Amino acid sequence: MTEISLEANYPVQVTDPHDAVTLHLSSMPSRYLSPSSEDRIRQPVEDVEECTCPSSTSPDCPKQLQLLNSPCEKCCCPAPPPKISDLMNDKDLLDVLRLKLDPNHCTIKNWKNFASRWGMSYDELTLLEHRTQGSLYHSPTQEFLLRYNQKTVTELTELCRFYQRIDVLRLLQSWIEKDWPSRWQQAH
């Protein structure tokens, strides 16, 4: 009786992770030799602390699913850098900014300097100033911020540094550090 060798007919795969593997590189194209991280398949890593909260739920979702999909208490998703449009939703902050940047003193840099630095022409500045003059509801600072609402608050803080408006800079930095993260988390 002849002995049948399974190893000769069927290769055996070694699954020991510490076992060295030798490949014949001459038969492989050169692109296989330079590993690229995007070509690799990554295994999911179990992390108990990882947040699996959805970024948002659809308003047409059933109420039960919305409750299930609501963010958890320890959501680890950091707040993105705020835009001026986010700042415009904080009425208290906006009121303080108006008080600091609306006054027209010849030696204090105000909304006009900021707007001019961001590209508003002299005619636009004059028109904006006349349109908001004497109004209790509109301020030139508010109008300037509305016009540039897609810029980041960080860009606004850079203007404060440039014009040495440390009072406004501190106000904005405090808002970014303390108020913005909680406001963002409430909204998302």
Q: What is the mean pLDDT of residues 73-93?
A: 83
Q: Does 107 reside within a domain?
A: yes
The string of pLDDT tens digits covering residues 25-37 is: 555 555 545 555 5
Q: Does 70 reside within a domain?
A: no
Place 88 in a pLDDT band, splitting at 50, 70 and 90: very high
Most confident of 22-36, 38-52, 57-71, 154-168: 154-168
What's the half-sphere exposure (Cβ side, CA atoms, 13 Å) at 52?
7
Q: Does 114 reside within a domain?
A: yes
Q: Does 156 reside within a domain?
A: yes
Q: Does 69 reside within a domain?
A: no
Average pLDDT, the chain: 75
* Count of structural domains within the chain: 1
Q: Does 63 reside within a domain?
A: no
pLDDT at 187: 81
Q: Does 121 reside within a domain?
A: yes
Which CATH number do you get for residue 160? 1.10.533.10
Is the pLDDT at 144 greater than 60, yes or no? yes
Q: What is the DSSP string of the chain?
A: -PPPPHHHHSPPPP--TTS-----GGGS-GGGTS--GGGS-------TT-----S---TTS-HHHHHHTSPPTT--PPPPPPBHHHHTT-HHHHHHHHHHHS---TTS--HHHHHHHTT--HHHHHHHHHHHTT-SS--HHHHHHHHTTTSBHHHHHHHHHHTT-HHHHHHHHHIIIIIHHHHHHHH-
Q: Does 128 reside within a domain?
A: yes
The parent domain of residue 165 ranges over 84-187
For residue 142, give the nearest of 76, 82, 83, 95 by alpha carbon.
95
